[in-house]
Amino acid sequence: MRIVGLRGVLCLAAAGLSMPAPAQSPPAQSPPVALPLATVQTEPLLVSADLRDGIDLSGDWHYSIDPYRSGIAGFHGEAPDRGQQRYLDIDVRQAMAADNRTLYEFDMAHSPVARLPGAWLAATPELRHYQGLVWYQRTFTAPADRKGRVFLRFGAANYATVVYLNGQPLGRHEGGFTPFAFEATRLLRDGENQITIGVDSAATPTTVPPPVTDWENYGGVTREIRLVQTPATYVDTAWVRLTRDGKLAVDAHLDGPAAANAPVRLTIADLKLDLAGKTDAAGNWRATMAAPRALVRWSPEQPKLYDVTLSSGEDRWRDRIGFRTVERRGADILLNGKPVFLRGISMHEEEIGANPARIITPANARALLGEIKEGLHGNYVRLSHYPHSEVMTRAADELGLLVWSEVPVYWMVAWGNTQTLATARNMLAENILRDRNRASIAIWSVANETPVSDARNAFLRQLIADVRALDDTRLVSAALLVERDRAAKVPTMAMADPLAADLDVLAINTYNGWYTGDRLADLPGSVWQIPDDKPLIFSEFGADAKAGFHSPEKMQKFSEEFQAEFYRKTLEMADRVPTLRGMSPWILKDFRSPRRQNPDFQIGWNRKGLISETGERKQAFAVLADYYARKAAVAGR
Ligand code: GCB
């Protein structure tokens, strides 16, 4: 479906790295040419491109740091000096040997190498805390049997990215956590090709997220880069789902010269479903049909997925999709029509290990999600605070975990800045369009812990409206702040956020007893003044513990005993909140955070994990696992 207004949303993001055009012949200096807005849009979308055939460009790439962004602009703001243009398609050594007037202050082909995908912080100790621009380059051989169209598709690169093919600009993208693709058909040549990527990790007050967060800003190309081939006309987006009224619905959009009035066919062999149709003049196809009787609904207990194919002309779009409904009735969350309690935990995108580089392979994803599903008896995960790898959401589909998916609209966002809003909208749209086919995703969240103001309310209302326009089959939430009544004798919290009225699910992060002076024994008696007509989730609660640090008598902070007791008392409190329908405590695994520098316990790690960075379970793990096991038994699953 080409959603009304979507093209507009996707065209808006234009901040960040600008893209200079390369000088044509040495030593000419041409003015910087920012790509025209029309080519900045992130289309093509290539939904489910990870399942399309392609050439994987993972492996060794040469890299070169560019802390002053000299490859983007000269030191007076003019076009970048040719001697700094890392993306030139030249042999630097040869050029300098041939003419002693020539100067290049880079040579990508002889620069060190790093493996992509993977954040650069793990590549060398020098890059551990580097935030800024890094250039990557490699060569590859074009597929011999080239016909149709070729796209360069990135799973994600953090944060702003410019891409050049054979010395020519291909496109730019802003946003560190969502996929993007550029058409390379025209610039690709037979035989060897050179690709150069400039990735700038620097956050500014107007980026999403802004500079101050509580996690590591993993700079670089963190997800796979592939060359994807399609026929001239191909299925760019497809969304196949079960609607709340029990119908199977499909929306698809074809792109290419034969997209209009084209025959299309949806097949789900396992269900003997074969539905034929025709696109309209804009290449869109929308159809609904009664769900087949044999359809097994996806659930955490039975995560049934079907092979779905959408064919048109020479193109065959494939996905593996589960079908279920998610809705709200009063204070209940209904999965397939039945109330469900979300037994979850929060998680950052960081693999288990002493030196993570945000490399999420299927095995890494399963190791993390397995701790939740089997270890904690969970049925739910909050993938915080940004869209996680599609490897992760596919693994959640397969393992049977419901998912809260969010965008990094976090803490202090530039609410009044129209460009920041455009960036956030773009990110949200890219996330939803990528993952609308994932049965696991139940909740789209638009923000985390953002103080109420008119500008913030307007910003978030726009995002909520976007979610509803892009996907009417899931629930919308945001982790909200509450107000503490300082005069009350027992911990008393009230929700005074007007956004509560706009959301389907209310969500609160609570750290009473960790960041506050409350005694843990007083937590169960807490009073929560929350609207009672909607489901509430404790989207976070937690306390740090350093695995192996014990303090059974004193119950010192950072001890495993303190964390375990914090969980016991907070869970007792949770049991007394009548509209509570789920929780995702903070957090599954200790994660890197430069703001955490206590030398005895933290040294750059947030220690609120129930497992350490290397996977050791702390005492509190068993406390939550037992609680969830009891909840699951009561629910009969
Ligand atoms: C929060 C934030 C989360 C932090 C956590 C903490 O409220 O949402 O990003 O990491 O608290 O550990 O303080």
pLDDT digits (tens, 9 = 90+) for 48-96: 999 999 999 999 999 999 999 999 999 999 999 999 999 999 999 999 9
**CA–CA distance, 375 with 587 (Å, rounded to integer):** 14
Same structural domain, 409 and 298: no
Does residue 294 sit in the same domain as residue 155? no
**What average pLDDT score do residues 261-277 get?**
98
State the pLDDT at residue 26: 35
CA distances in angstroms from 413 to 49, 152, 242, 451, 477, listed in the order given: 31, 31, 35, 10, 18
Domain identity same for 182 and 271: no
pLDDT of residue 18: 62
Asked if 102 and 26 count as a contact pair (C-beta separation under 8 A), the reply is yes
Residue 149: phi and psi, rounded to 5, are -120, 155
Q: Is 201 in the pocket of ligand 1 (CB under 6 A)?
A: no
Query: Which DSSP helix (H) or strand (E) runs through 266?
Result: strand 263-268
- Written as six digits, the tokens of 311 are 């064919």
The model's confidence at residue 635, banded by pLDDT at 50, 70 and 90, is: confident
Does a structural domain hold residue 118?
A: yes
pLDDT for 494-543, tens place per residue? 999 999 999 999 999 999 999 999 999 999 999 999 999 999 999 999 99
What single-letter DSSP state applies at residue 350?
A: -
pLDDT at 597: 98
CA 509 to ligand 1: nearest atom? 7
Evaluate whether 478 touches 439 at the Cβ level (below 8 Å): no
Could you tell me which of 243, 286, 249, 247 has the C-alpha nearest to residue 264? 286
Long-range contacts at 451-457 (CB < 8 A, ≥ 24 apart): 451/481, 452/481, 452/496, 452/497, 452/498, 452/499, 453/415, 455/415, 455/416, 456/413, 456/415, 457/498, 457/499
DSSP 401-429: -EEEEE---BSS--TT-HHHHHHHHHHHH
Rounded CA gap, 452 and 449, in Å?
9
Nearest CA to 476 out of 507, 443, 501 is that of 443
* Residue 541 beta carbon below 6 angstroms from any ligand 1 atom: no
* pLDDT confidence bin for 146, thresholds 50/70/90: confident
Q: Is there a single domain that holds both residue 45 and residue 146?
A: yes
Distances (CA, A) of 343 to 189, 346, 372, 374, 624: 52, 11, 9, 12, 9
Q: Which atom of ligand 1 is nearest to the CA of 514?
A: 13
Strand segments (E) across 453-554: 475-480, 483-484, 492-494, 505-509, 527-529, 536-540
**pLDDT value at residue 85:** 98
Both 503 and 374 in one domain: the answer is yes
User: In which order are the strands placed within the sheet that holds 315-321?
Assistant: 273-278, 263-268, 306-312, 315-321
Collapsing DSSP states into helix, strand and coil, what is residue 523? helix
Virtual torsion, Cα 520, 521, 524, 528, nearest 10 deg: -60
Same-domain status, 626 and 510: yes
- pLDDT more than 90, % of the chain: 92
Classify residue 545 by its DSSP letter: B
**Residues 475, 473: Cα–Cα separation, whole Å:** 7
CA 551 to chain centre: 38
Asked if 157 and 222 touch (Cβ cutoff 8 Å), the reply is: yes
Query: What are the φ/ψ torsions at residue 347 (nearest 5 degrees)?
Result: -155, 140
Residue 235 is assigned to a structural domain of this protein: no
What CATH number does residue 23 fall under? 2.60.120.260
525 occurs within a structural domain:
yes
Q: Is 448 in the pocket of ligand 1 (CB under 6 A)?
A: yes
The reply to whether ligand 1 has any atom less than 6 angstroms from the CB of 540 is yes
Higher per-residue confidence, 530 vs 3: 530
Q: CA–CA distance from 179 to each of 174, 223, 333, 391, 450 (Å)?
A: 10, 9, 30, 12, 26
439 token code pair = 């049965």
Task: Please give the average per-residue pLDDT across 332-358, as a whole number.
Answer: 98
Compute the distance between CA of residue 546 and CA of residue 523 in angstroms, rounded to an integer.
23
pLDDT digits (tens, 9 = 90+) for 204-255: 999 999 999 999 999 999 999 999 999 999 999 999 999 999 999 999 999 9
Instruction: Quote the ligand 1 centre to 278 CA distance (angstroms).
Output: 49
Look at residue 472 and tell me whether its pLDDT is greater than 70. yes
Instruction: Write out the two tokens for 10.
Output: 């996707």
Question: Ligand 1 center to residue 247 CA distance, Å?
Answer: 40
Verify whether ligand 1 is closer than 6 Å to residue 214 (CB atom): yes
Q: Are residues 308 and 358 in the same domain?
A: no
What secondary structure does DSSP assign to 566-622, as a single string? HHHHHHHHHTT-TTEEEE--S-SB-EE-TT---TTTTSSEE---SB-TT-PBPHHHH
% of residues, the chain, pLDDT over 70: 93
281 lies in which domain range? 247-324
pLDDT of residue 19: 59
Question: H or E element: which one contains 55?
Answer: strand 54-56
Helix residue ranges per DSSP H, 269-334: none
Residue 529 structure tokens = 């003044």
Kindly report the CATH number assigned to the domain that includes residue 479. 3.20.20.80
Q: Which of 212, 214, 413 to mutate to test the pocket of ligand 1 (most atoms within 8 A of CB)?
A: 214
| Helix, strand, coil abundance in the chain, percent, nearest 5 | 20, 30, 50
Q: Taking residues 442-470, report their average pLDDT.
A: 98
In a domain, 39, yes or no: yes
Q: Are residues 357 and 473 in the same domain?
A: yes
Residue 335 is assigned to a structural domain of this protein: no
Q: Look at residue 352 and tell me whether its pLDDT is greater than 60.
A: yes
Give yes or no for residue 196 CB within 6 A of ligand 1: no
Residue 317 has pLDDT above 70, yes or no: yes
Answer whether the bond into residue 209 is a cis peptide, omega within 30°: yes
Separation of CA 393 and ligand 1 centre (Å): 22
Evaluate: CB of 390 within 6 angstroms of ligand 1.
Answer: no
In whole angstroms, what is the distance from residue 216 CA to residue 605 CA?
9
Would you state the pLDDT for residue 17? 65
Is the residue at 337 inside a domain? no
pLDDT in tens, 541-557: 999 999 999 999 999 99
Length of the chain: 637
Task: Count the neighbouring beta carbons within 10 Å of the beta carbon of residue 127.
Answer: 18
Cβ-Cβ contacts under 8 Å for 260 (sequence gap 6 or more): 279, 280, 281, 282, 283
Question: Given a cut of 60, is residue 4 above it in pLDDT?
Answer: no
Q: 123 and 192, same structural domain?
A: yes
Query: What pLDDT, on the 0 to 100 scale, is given for residue 145?
Result: 84
Regarding whether 491 and 441 lie in a shared domain, the answer is: yes
Structural element, H or E, at residue 93: helix 92-98
- Alpha helices (runs of H) in 347-453, residue ranges in sequence order: 362-370, 390-399, 418-435
Whether 262 maps to a domain, the answer reads yes
Measured in degrees and rounded to the nearest 5, phi and psi for residue 484 equal -95, 130
501 three-class SS = helix
Q: Does the pLDDT value for residue 11 go beyond 60?
A: no
Q: Is the CB of 606 under 6 A from ligand 1?
A: yes
Is 267 within 8 Å of 287 (Cβ atoms)? no
Say if CB 135 and CB 86 are below 8 A apart.
Answer: yes
Distance 608 CA to ligand 1 centre (A): 9
Residue 290 covered by a domain = yes
| Residue 352 and residue 277 in one domain | no
* Statement: residue 399 has pLDDT above 90: yes
Residue 277, phi then psi, degrees to nearest 5: -160, -165
Number of domains in the chain: 3
DSSP 393: H
Q: Are residues 263 and 143 in the same domain?
A: no
Q: Is the pLDDT of residue 570 over 60?
A: yes
Radius of gyration of the chain (CA): 25
Of the pLDDT bands very low, low, confident and very high (cuts 50, 70, 90), residue 112 is very high
Which residue, among 151, 225, 163, has the nearest Cα to 198 in the 3D structure?
A: 163
Distance (Å, rounded) from C-alpha 25 to C-alpha 102?
Answer: 12
Closest residue by Cα to atom 7, ligand 1, is: 509
CB 536 within 8 A of CB 530: yes
- Dihedral (CA of 245, 247, 248, 250) sign: negative
Q: How far is the CA of 214 from the centre of ligand 1 (A)?
A: 6
CA distance 451 to 205: 16
CATH at residue 312: 2.60.40.10
Give the whole-angstrom CA distance, residue 423 versus residue 415. 12
Strands 591-592 and 605-606: antiparallel
pLDDT digits (tens, 9 = 90+) for 25-48: 333 333 323 323 233 344 699 999
